[in-house]
Structure 1
Amino acid sequence: MKVTNLRKQMNEEIIITQINFELFENEIVGLIGRNGSGKTTLFRTIAGNYLPETGDIQVAGASIYQDPTKKAEIFYIDELDNFLSGYTLKKLNHFYRYAYPKFDQDLYLQLLAENQFPEHLSYRRMSKGMQGLYQMILAIASGANYLLLDEPFDGLDVIVRKKVIGLLLEHVAEKGCSVLIASHNLKELEDIIDRALLLKGKTIVREYCLESMRENARKLQLVFKTKKVPAVVKENSKLLTIQGRVITAVFERFTPELEQAIQACEPVLMEELPLSLEDLFEANLNRESMIQ
């Protein structure tokens, strides 16, 4: 899937603009951003629930606006405008078999049986966790190559969450599909995603490959002789905290040369700390730098 120059506005207010990214086979991508940053609007636009003012979405080289059949390659359940609650699982099964030509009925029935979901069960009578698990079953059985999951682990207890994640990882490994996940639980995302897209200021401002991040980025705690922060730190890092003379900062491209330059400033303390996706999120989304 290729998303190009996507722009959506509502009531004359721009919600997302200049959105550009690609999704590839056999990968899980995290979409991270603050509340209200436009994650749900982006999902709704990709899924075809909203029409963009400008831009295009291509699946297998064809625009979903020129070839509407390509929309069947995209799976998305809008949790904020969810039509599922009024139906039984049997009726929902009929709807999704019609909506997705590659729907795997055998797999669907197998997963229902394994998780003890009777077909006559009403969706609204299911617990939050069971609803989340059922939505994952629908996503996996849909046969869609691109799964858009908006907060799929929200409100799930530990046991159900592990089951949902296990189903997802197994499906990606077997079918080679692509998954885009928006989640507030960055620690959970970090354990399963290959890349992260950072949504800020109505657009995607940064893309992280998790493997590359672990190789090249560093989180350091630094103490210098005075409270003045050396220029090399200001210019090459993103601040997390300053407490007195103690600086905690993220260096996204930490090279031997940069390390030597910091050492030349004679820090009293220079200690590497564990770096997480949450650190990158916090460092990039701080409204104002605390380094003066």
Structure 2
Amino acid sequence: MKLTNMGKVIDQKEILKSIDFSLNQHEIVGLIGRNGSGKTTLFRTISGQYTPDSGKITIDGIDLAIDPTRRAEIFYIDEKENFLSFYSLKKINQFYLNMYPKFNQNLFLDLLNQHQLGLNFSYRRMSKGMQGLFQMILAISSNATYLLLDEPFDGLDVIVRKQVIGLLLENISETNRTVLIASHNLNELEGMIDRALVLKGHQITQDYQLETLRQHARKIQFVFKSKKVPDIVKKHSKVIQMQGRVITALFENFDAELEAQIRAFEPVLFEELPISLEDLFEANLSQETILGD
């Protein structure tokens, strides 16, 4: 799937603009952004609930606006506008059987049985955790190529959350399917994803390959003798935190030459710390900046 120069305007307000990225087979991609950044709008536009106002979305080079039947390759449940929530699991199952030609009914029934969910259950009377588990069962059983998961762990207790994550990872490891997942739980997301897309200012501002990032990036904590932060630090890093004279910064490309240039300023403290997905979030989306003096 490829999004090219895609934009969306709602109530004369630009929500998304110039969105460009591709989703490749057999990968899990994290979508990170602050509340109100447009993550749900992006999911709704990809899935066809909204029509793009500019650009296009293609699968295998075919524009979904020209051949909307290809949307059967995309799975998305909009929990905020979930009209199926008033039905039994049996009726919801029938809807998805009709919607997804490759729906695996045997797998669906087997997973329901494994997790003690009955077809006669009313969706809205189920706990939040059981609803989340059922949604993941639907997603997996749909056999859709692209799974769009918007906060799938929200409100789940530890045990159910592990079940949901386990179901997803086990299925993806055995197929060529792709997952685009937005979650506020960055710690759990970090252990799952291959890439991280940063949505900021209505656009995708970063596309991180996490393995590459881990090889080249460094998180460093400094204290310098002078109150002035060296220009070399300001030029090559994104601040994560400033607490008094203690600076914690993320360098996306850190090498021996850059380290030598910084050490030439004889910092009182120079300590490398582990990098987390939360660091990427803070470095890219925080309003903090490194001050000159």
Q: Confirm or deny a common fold (TM above 0.5).
A: yes
SS of the residue 2:121 aligns to:
coil
The whole-number CA distance in structure 1 between the counterparts of 2:178 and 2:103 is 16
Structure 2 residue 201 is the aligned partner of structure 1 residue 201: yes
Paired position in structure 1 for 2:66? 66
Paired position in structure 1 for 2:133? 133
Structure 2 residue 157 is the aligned partner of structure 1 residue 157: yes
Letter in 2 for 1:10: I
Paired position in structure 2 for 1:211? 211
How is 1:179-198 mapped onto 2 (pairs within 5 angstroms)? 179-198=179-198
Paired position in structure 1 for 2:238? 238
Q: Across the two proteins, how many residue pairs are aligned to each other?
A: 292
Identity of aligned residues (%): 63
Give the Å deviation of 1:254. 0.6
CA contact (8 A) 1:227 1:244 kept: no
Structure 2 residue 7 is the aligned partner of structure 1 residue 7: yes
Give the Å deviation of 1:269. 1.4
SS of the residue 1:169 aligns to:
helix
The whole-number CA distance in structure 2 between the counterparts of 1:80 and 1:244 is 42
Paired position in structure 1 for 2:108? 108
The whole-number CA distance in structure 1 between the counterparts of 2:261 and 2:162 is 44
CA contact (8 A) 2:29 2:181 kept: yes
The whole-number CA distance in structure 1 between the counterparts of 2:131 and 2:272 is 42
SS of the residue 1:175 aligns to:
coil
Give the Å deviation of 1:15. 0.4
The whole-number CA distance in structure 1 between the counterparts of 2:163 and 2:175 is 18
Deviations 1:211-242 (A, max 9, x none): 11111111111111111101111111111222
State the Cα RMSD in Å.
0.8
How is 1:209-288 mapped onto 2 (pairs within 5 angstroms)? 209-288=209-288
The whole-number CA distance in structure 2 between the counterparts of 1:195 and 1:267 is 33
CA contact (8 A) 2:133 2:160 kept: yes
SS of the residue 2:132 aligns to:
helix
The whole-number CA distance in structure 2 between the counterparts of 1:186 and 1:36 is 17
Gaps spanning 5+ residues in structure 2: where?
A: none
Paired position in structure 2 for 1:122? 122
The whole-number CA distance in structure 2 between the counterparts of 1:234 and 1:119 is 58
Structure 2 residue 40 is the aligned partner of structure 1 residue 21: no
Indicate the larger mover: 84-93 or 189-198: 84-93
CA contact (8 A) 1:223 1:267 kept: yes
The whole-number CA distance in structure 1 between the counterparts of 2:119 and 2:244 is 61
Paired position in structure 1 for 2:36? 36
Gaps spanning 5+ residues in structure 1: where?
A: none
Give the Å deviation of 1:85. 1.3
Deviations 1:130-177 (A, max 9, x none): 000000000000010000000000000011000100100011111120
CA contact (8 A) 1:222 1:269 kept: yes
The whole-number CA distance in structure 1 between the counterparts of 2:60 and 2:106 is 26
Deviations 1:15-64 (A, max 9, x none): 00000000011100000000000000000000000001111111122111
CA contact (8 A) 2:239 2:288 kept: no
The whole-number CA distance in structure 2 between the counterparts of 1:145 and 1:136 is 14
Letter in 1 for 2:289: S
The whole-number CA distance in structure 1 between the counterparts of 2:132 and 2:201 is 30
Give the Å deviation of 1:291. 2.0
The whole-number CA distance in structure 2 between the counterparts of 1:32 and 1:241 is 19
Letter in 2 for 1:274: P
SS of the residue 1:31 aligns to:
strand
Give the Å deviation of 1:288. 4.1
CA contact (8 A) 1:239 1:291 kept: no
- Deviation beyond 6 Å, 4+ runs, structure 1: none
TM-score of the pair, normalised by structure 2: 0.98
